[in-house]
């Protein structure tokens, strides 16, 4: 009979996690949480100079960190990130596809360039990262795509590109799980966060978040640690029987 406890199922000792968009906001919280659970963390971001603080957070948790300048819209950057992870650590067990941008442009005025940029980073970039990791991941590995509640509902702002990218990410999650879970042993899931403090929420119009709170049954914005806890469930053995699903973490917003 095993001496392990239920909490041991959430441990990530000996594993290596890749986190994109790791220079700010939720990416920093995710990287720290993964390190606290025992994983070494490979950090990717376009603003590589801003990864120093994230590196320090990982190392403070007693784990190793590696920073790689990465624009996920470029497939060659995604491959280079995975190559660097393999050269440094010899394995990739977890991918957190967190890099993303948001817009709020009216549909009749949004330019093709604006729309393509959002799709390129939020959707295509997640695919290029998943491809690169999927080539080296071993059975038992896990991918979590950070979608959004806006992939499942609307929230009063003109966000066609963002909503389309996040809804597309949910479809991508289902398909990659169908392709890889049985054949490769790689689980693929998505998180659909509601309103959490981030660089993106800082750009919202004044009063917007307060106007949306009546839709949130819990009555408040989410604590980033609550989202990190859900991530830890999905990437660890605790979520070993979960694949191809999207887990909303949105305070009950979808019930309204």
Q: Give the model confidence (pLDDT) of 8-43 as tens digits.
A: 999 999 999 999 999 999 999 999 999 999 999 999
Tell me the catalytic residues. Answer: 162
Contact 42, 19 (CB under 8 A): yes
- 49 lies in a domain? yes
**Is the residue at 256 inside a domain?**
no
Domains: count for the chain: 1
Residue 48 pLDDT > 80, yes or no? yes
Question: Among the residues of the chain, which ranges form H helices?
Answer: 25-36, 52-60, 75-89, 112-119, 125-134, 160-184, 199-202, 208-212, 224-235
Residue 156 belongs to domain spanning: 6-243
Work out the average pLDDT over 143-150. 98
248 domain-assigned: no
Q: At what angle do helices 52-60 and 25-36 cross, to 10 degrees?
A: 20
pLDDT digits (tens, 9 = 90+) for 109-120: 999 999 999 999
Per-residue confidence band for 1, with pLDDT thresholds at 50, 70 and 90: very low
Residue 206 in domain: yes
pLDDT at position 51? 96
User: Mean pLDDT for the chain?
Assistant: 95
Evaluated on CA atoms 156, 157, 162, 164, the torsion sign reads positive
Let me know if residue 45 belongs to a domain.
yes
Domain-located, residue 28: yes
pLDDT (mean) for 214-223? 95
Q: Is the pLDDT of residue 45 over 70?
A: yes
CA 86/CA 24 separation, integer angstroms: 24
The answer to whether residue 83 is domain-embedded is yes
Helix, coil or strand: residue 152: coil
- Residue 224 near residue 26, CB atoms below 8 Å: yes
* Cα separation, 15 vs 91, whole angstroms: 8
Does 255 fall in a domain? no
Mean pLDDT over 76-90 rounds to: 98
CATH number at residue 187: 3.40.50.720
Residue 200 confidence (pLDDT) = 67
- The reported pTM is 0.96
């Amino acid at each position: 009979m095993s001496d392990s406890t239920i909490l041991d199922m959430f441990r990530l000792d000996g594993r290596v996690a890749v986190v994109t968009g790791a220079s700010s906001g939720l990416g920093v919280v995710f990287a720290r949480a993964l390190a606290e659970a025992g994983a070494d963390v490979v950090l990717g971001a376009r603003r590589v100079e801003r990864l120093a603080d994230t590196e320090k957070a990982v190392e403070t948790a007693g784990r190793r960190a590696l920073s790689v300048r990465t624009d996920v819209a470029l497939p060659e950057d995604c491959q280079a990130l995975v190559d660097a992870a393999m050269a440094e650590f010899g394995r990739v067990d977890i991918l957190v596809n967190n890099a993303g941008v948001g817009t709020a442009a009216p549909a009749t005025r949004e330019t093709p360039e604006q729309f393509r940029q959002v799709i390129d980073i939020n959707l295509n970039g997640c695919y290029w990262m998943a491809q690169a990791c999927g080539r080296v991941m071993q059975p038992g590995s896990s991918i979590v795509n950070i979608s959004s509640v806006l992939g499942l509902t609307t929230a009063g702002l003109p966000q066609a590109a963002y909503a389309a990218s996040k809804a597309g990410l949910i479809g991508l999650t289902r398909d990659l799980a169908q392709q890889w879970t049985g054949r490769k042993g790689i689980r693929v899931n998505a998180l659909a966060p509601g309103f959490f403090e981030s660089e993106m929420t800082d750009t919202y119009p004044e009063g917007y978040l307060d106007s949306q709170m009546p839709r949130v049954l819990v009555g408040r914005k989410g604590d980033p640690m609550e989202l990190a806890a859900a991530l830890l469930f999905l990437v660890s053995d605790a979520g070993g029987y979960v694949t191809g699903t999207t887990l909303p973490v949105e305070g009950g917003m979808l019930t309204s």
